[in-house]
Chain A
Amino acid sequence: MNLDDLITSPAPWLEPGGPNGDIVLSTRVRLARNVAGRPFLPRMDPAEQQELEAHLKDAIQKAHDENAFTWFDVDSLADIDRQCLLERHVISREHAAGEGARGVAISADQRTAVMTNEEDHLRIQVYSAGLQLQDSWAIANHVDDRLESQVAYTFSPKLGYLTACPTNVGTGMRVSVMLHLPALVLTQQIEKVFNAVARLRLAVRGIYGEGTQAVGDIYQISNQASLGRSEEDILANLGSVIPQIIEYEQQARAALADESPEALDDRVYRSWGLLTNARTISSEETLTLLSAVRLGIHLGRINGTDIGAVNELFLMTRRGHIQKIRGRELGEAERDVARADYIRQRLATGG
């Protein structure tokens, strides 16, 4: 698998048809691990980081069947490629912007990515389409077991897996569910949901993690506490909260269709009209419009449009991907034109 093939193929977490796929885009389980007998990254000099990098790369390859993972040396990647991996959630913002020897191993099905020398020595991430808490954990746990056969982790019986930031200590586990909640936003009930969620030690973030805005009505809900509760407890907590949010969103969607069908259709079709006719469009406007069209498709207000194509556009229209599709670097104005072209083409053929 080379990088260009990876970047131009659909992301597994955006495939439609996952459990509760009309509302839940994806589920992610992340485990933070550090190698025993070594300082954390803030106290590592470049040579040490380099040496650890080689050790981890080797361990990841040895722990799995040959060709199960493809390795990318993030430090030597072009900026545009790093940007694309970030947009695909393969690497984190911090990892993309980091310094020194660091890499990522990506599984053949693109669902698993192991980052090295991010905030912690190792970050195992597993993505699934739709709401798949147990499955995602099972895969992450398996990858963790395999890695453990090659690497001794730093672990304290009292505090669990030790991490560079105390917010991840314990299980080192962060489970995030990415939700598309346009009806709760439209009916102005989203704040209520978030206030309730915050009381359960769960955090709400935008699509690209910490400190990012919720564009396209997409929100990530994740556990805040990683210490003092088992992996199963963390999954069970989200497993009880997420279905309730799904239900609220469903109720809000039904209310929109019942109480103001004209306003709903107007919003959906205006968005569709702009997407299929615009000659220049920003990435943010794209996400807002796609959100309305996605809602329209799931409510059966708009027919003959492929939900797969719409989901894919959420990713393929981002800054990095649109340049990759065009095969060259583009300035902002050029990107907006290329984006509009690509959307028109994709929705004409995908429809």
Chain B
Amino acid sequence: MKRALLAENGPEGNGSCTKARIMLCQRCKKQQATVHVTEIINNEKRERHLCEDCAREEGVAIKAQINLQDVLSGMLQAHEAAGEEASLSCPDCGMTYGEFRNQGRLGCPNDYEAFAEPLQEVLQKVHGATEHVGKIPRRAGSDQRAQRELMQLRRRLQQAVEREQYEEAARLRDLIQEKETGG
């Protein structure tokens, strides 16, 4: 006798608008039938509806069960996390993580700080590593705080020029030059 079993675990209360009729287990006739078995015996198809306990007792293997609720909440969490990440923004250049994800290019060096957490995963995926090993520039340009300050000064200079505040612009220009040659 050839007996093939296809058991499926039906979703319980999956929120569909037609209220599902409760089906009792065909074996114990007490509990709700949640395992639906399709048996093929000598080319004849037979459907049986069992509760989980009876199914287990009959040795019906239940396919990997997926709880819809778990799936949904998992997806929602991931979505929320992605939403949070996407709204991360860099105080220096104003780029958001969402923008970066769309364009694939960062706005300024400080983005590596501002997006440190989500970028960690990206770096691990691309490089299989998250820390630099290799050449180090000899010059002191590596002071990140000084670099950020310079960028902020440049931005203020630009704003001053836009507002036609030329005295302030000249002062900022000198300051930038001083820092550039000094750094």
Q: Which residues of A contact B (CB under 8 A)?
A: 34, 36-43, 45, 47-48, 119, 141, 144-145, 148-149, 151-162, 164-167, 169-171, 173, 201, 224-231, 233
Q: How many residues of B contact A (CB 8 A)?
A: 44
Whether B135 contacts A171 by the Cβ 8 Å rule is yes
Identify which of A41, A141, A144, A228 contacts B133 (C-beta below 8 A).
A228
Of chain B, the residue at the smallest CB distance from A224 is B126
Of chain B, the residue at the smallest CB distance from A165 is B105
Whether A40 contacts B109 by the Cβ 8 Å rule is yes
Q: A40-B105, A164-B105 are in contact. Are A227 and B142 (CB under 8 A)?
A: no
Q: Which residues of A contact B133 (CB under 8 A)?
A: 170, 228-230, 233
- Among all A-B residue pairs, the 3 with the closest Cβ atoms: A228-B129, A152-B141, A37-B150
B149 CB, nearest partner CB in chain A, Å? 8
Whether A39 contacts B108 by the Cβ 8 Å rule is yes
Q: Which residues of A contact B136 (CB under 8 A)?
A: 155, 157
Identify which of B129, B139, B149 contacts A229 (C-beta below 8 A).
B129
Whether A34 contacts B109 by the Cβ 8 Å rule is yes
Whether A42 contacts B137 by the Cβ 8 Å rule is no
Whether B150 contacts A158 by the Cβ 8 Å rule is no
* CA distance in complex: A47, B157 (Å): 12
Those of B122-141 within 8 Å (CB) of chain A = 122-123, 126-141
Identify which of B93, B94, B132, B151 contacts A37 (C-beta below 8 A).
B151
Main secondary structure of the interface of A (DSSP, over half): loop
B60 CB, nearest partner CB in chain A, Å? 41
Q: A148-B138, A166-B119, A171-B134 are in contact. Are A156 and B106 (CB under 8 A)?
A: no
The answer, yes or no, to whether B69 is at the interface (CB within 8 Å) is no
A115 CB, nearest partner CB in chain B, Å? 16
Query: Which of A43, A169, A230 is the most central at the interface, judged by chain B CB atoms within 10 Å of its CB?
Result: A43
Whether B139 contacts A153 by the Cβ 8 Å rule is yes
The answer, yes or no, to whether B38 is at the interface (CB within 8 Å) is no
The answer, yes or no, to whether B89 is at the interface (CB within 8 Å) is no
Whether B141 contacts A153 by the Cβ 8 Å rule is yes
* CA distance in complex: A165, B119 (Å): 11
Q: How many A-B residue pairs lie within 8 Å, measured between CB atoms?
A: 152
A51 CB, nearest partner CB in chain B, Å? 9
The answer, yes or no, to whether B80 is at the interface (CB within 8 Å) is no
Q: Which residues of B contact A152 (CB under 8 A)?
A: 139-141, 147, 180, 183
The answer, yes or no, to whether B107 is at the interface (CB within 8 Å) is yes
The answer, yes or no, to whether B154 is at the interface (CB within 8 Å) is yes
* CA distance in complex: A156, B137 (Å): 10
Whether A40 contacts B104 by the Cβ 8 Å rule is no
Q: Which residues of A contact B7 (CB under 8 A)?
A: none
Q: Which residues of A contact B179 (CB under 8 A)?
A: 37
* CA distance in complex: A36, B182 (Å): 13
Whether A38 contacts B154 by the Cβ 8 Å rule is yes
The answer, yes or no, to whether B26 is at the interface (CB within 8 Å) is no
* CA distance in complex: A206, B154 (Å): 41
Q: Which residues of B contact A42 (CB under 8 A)?
A: 95, 103, 105-107
* CA distance in complex: A41, B150 (Å): 16
Whether A227 contacts B129 by the Cβ 8 Å rule is yes
B170 CB, nearest partner CB in chain A, Å? 16
Q: Which residues of B contact A225 (CB under 8 A)?
A: 126-129
1/0 per residue B92-127: CB within 8 Å of A? Answer: 111100000001111111001000000100110011
* CA distance in complex: A158, B112 (Å): 10
Pick 11 A–B contacts, CB within 8 A, sort by A.
A34-B109, A38-B151, A144-B135, A153-B141, A156-B112, A159-B112, A165-B105, A166-B112, A170-B129, A170-B134, A173-B134
Query: Which of B107, B109, B138, B150 is the most central at the interface, judged by chain A CB atoms within 10 Å of its CB?
Result: B109
Q: A155-B142, A224-B126 are in contact. Are A39 and B93 (CB under 8 A)?
A: yes
Q: Which residues of B contact A45 (CB under 8 A)?
A: 158
A331 CB, nearest partner CB in chain B, Å? 36
Q: A156-B142, A157-B142 are in contact. Are A43 and B126 (CB under 8 A)?
A: no
Q: Which residues of A contact B141 (CB under 8 A)?
A: 36, 151-155
B137 CB, nearest partner CB in chain A, Å? 5
* CA distance in complex: A157, B180 (Å): 20
Q: Which residues of B contact A153 (CB under 8 A)?
A: 137, 139, 141-142
A330 CB, nearest partner CB in chain B, Å? 36
B128 CB, nearest partner CB in chain A, Å? 6
Query: Which of B104, B133, B151 is the most central at the interface, judged by chain A CB atoms within 10 Å of its CB?
Result: B133
Whether B131 contacts A227 by the Cβ 8 Å rule is yes
Whether B108 contacts A40 by the Cβ 8 Å rule is yes
The answer, yes or no, to whether B144 is at the interface (CB within 8 Å) is yes
The answer, yes or no, to whether B78 is at the interface (CB within 8 Å) is no
Whether A171 contacts B132 by the Cβ 8 Å rule is yes
Q: Which residues of A contact B75 (CB under 8 A)?
A: none
